[in-house]
Amino acid sequence: MEKFFAYQKDSRTPCKYGRKCFQTNKEHKDKYKHPPTKDDIKVDGKKITRKRDSKGKVKLSDNTNGESSNSNHMNNEERPNSGETNDMEVPEHIEQSVSTSNREHNNSFTSISNQQSSAEYAVPSVRQHSQQQQQLLLTNNTLEDCCVDDSIVPCTPTLFTPRRVDGETVSSPHVPSGNQVQRFTFVGESQPSHTPDSNDREQPDPPVQNVTDSDYLRTKISELFLVDEMPKEFYDLWSFCKRQCSHPEDALLSVGLKLVGPYDVLAGHMNGFNTNDVEKTVLHWRYYYDPPEFQTIIASTDSEFHIGYYRDVPLAPPVYVVSNDSSKNCIIQKLGTSLFQALRKHLQSMDSKVANTLQKKLLTYKKRKVTETLEGRKCDPVTKTFHKAGIVVPYDRQTDIGYRPLSESEYDLRTILKSYQDASESKKMEVMDKLQPIINYANIASDECDFGTGFELGIDFFCDGNPDLHRICKQLLVTAYNLLRRPQFATIIKAHLNNRKKGPNMSIL
């Protein structure tokens, strides 16, 4: 009993873990006091039990019969709300009773009895203790490591919420309440390393993108051909061809034409390609004299004639519908701002009954369904170049920055390029000496922010078509496109010059 009185008079802070505190370091014991065990709380060598008389007052009773004492103790443990206090916290009324114990000896004795009865802490049984240890899943070595520093809260409260034997959560400023954090547990030697959870079930595969979805197809075309979304009339023509044939890409075969290029994406012929194949896909139906600005969408079945869109900027809508016949020359013909109008003009030149019938159908569908056409160029080209379609670059007329003409006229440049192509191997170096100053002048212009000059010279070399100038052409155009912030065109021209071919069939399928 002396230990209980010593505990009451002790001025140290009560340890919130009570008798269950497992820390043994001296700094912890010097800072916190710990309640005595049940065996230490005895009066005259007999245990104190709580009994009340008929008036409800607490009285002392000596349990000499071991069986009755054990039965009362078991009944108290089986009742969850029997007035037991948390053994991890010291009851406040214990300290209050100390102040009243100095008044009278009889009253102090009764107060001590009340204190002793209220100090009957709930000691878990062996089975409960093993269950709690299994819940914490901490090894002895981990507990000893936690006890080294008193600043570390035992049982790693930041990882899980500690609970008392009666199931009530122990409050701690270090432990988030509720489901704010995900709980973790340390795995002991006797526990399995993994517990099945609902989150561990096999997740179904993500749904496969529908290849007929319009948004998916628009994005697919942009990714494979490195251009902006196709205009609305592009899809209007596909809808028209759907009405004419079960395979829309073949609806124009009666007039010697077929839908190619990005239309193969709509037809499902390019489902096996992705963004890793852009060096191949940008060459799909790209003819020998097609610059990066030209994108073929309709091709002839018996010649190298083809129709397509012309873009000045890769990530902008096309400005014109154009055509070219690479078997003849590099000149790009402007057909207008409407794809339906360009097709009708081409069918009129064929002068056949089938072409006339198809032309009337196109005109009727255009009046009923087609509501949008291309807007055309918003600014004039700075020069025409060899292909006659012209190039557009940012140009400030006040400062005269953005473009300067080449050091040689178009006629003189054509003459030099023609002589270089016709020269023998021994004479080529002499002609190159004439070309080198023109190239140097274009490079100097690019260094001085006149990016259009190198762009023009690179296009002229490209339209000349001489494979011996591909290396210089690539250097000029890649530099110009990057300076003009058109890297997509730079990728296209590199792929094209690395694999430039002639012929009517330019499909990669």
Catalytic positions: 448
Q: DSSP assignment of 164-206, as one string?
A: -TTSPBPP-TTS--TTSS-------TTS-S----GGGSPPPPP
Tokens of 110: 């009764």
The answer to whether the beta carbons of residues 456 and 499 sit under 8 Å apart is no
The answer to whether the beta carbons of residues 111 and 97 sit under 8 Å apart is yes
Q: What is the 3-state secondary structure (H, E, C) of 209-254?
A: CCCCCHHHHHHHHHHHHCCCCCCHHHHHHHHHHHHHCCCHHHCCHH
- Residue 473: exposure state from Cβ atoms within 10 A (0-12, 13-18, ≥19): buried
The answer to whether the beta carbons of residues 75 and 63 sit under 8 Å apart is no
Neighbours of 167 (CB within 10 A): 7
Q: State the angle between helix axes of 410-422 and 425-447 in degrees (0 to 180), rounded to the nearest 10.
A: 150
| Residue that the structure tokens 């003459």 belong to | 415
DSSP code, position 302: S
Amino acid identity, residue 3? K
473: alpha, beta or left? (left if phi > 0; alpha if psi -120 to 50): alpha
Tokens of 324: 């070219």
62 vs 49, 50, 503, CA distance in Å? 7, 10, 114
Tokens of 391: 């190039």
The answer to whether the beta carbons of residues 374 and 317 sit under 8 Å apart is yes
CA distance linking residue 18 with residue 7, whole number of Å = 12
Computed from CA positions of residues 222, 226, 232, 236, in that sequence, does the dihedral angle turn out positive or negative? negative
Beta strand residue intervals within 301-372, DSSP E = 305-310, 320-325, 333-336
- Residue 147: exposure state from Cβ atoms within 10 A (0-12, 13-18, ≥19): middle
316 vs 79, 227, 263, 374, 405, CA distance in Å? 79, 8, 19, 11, 26
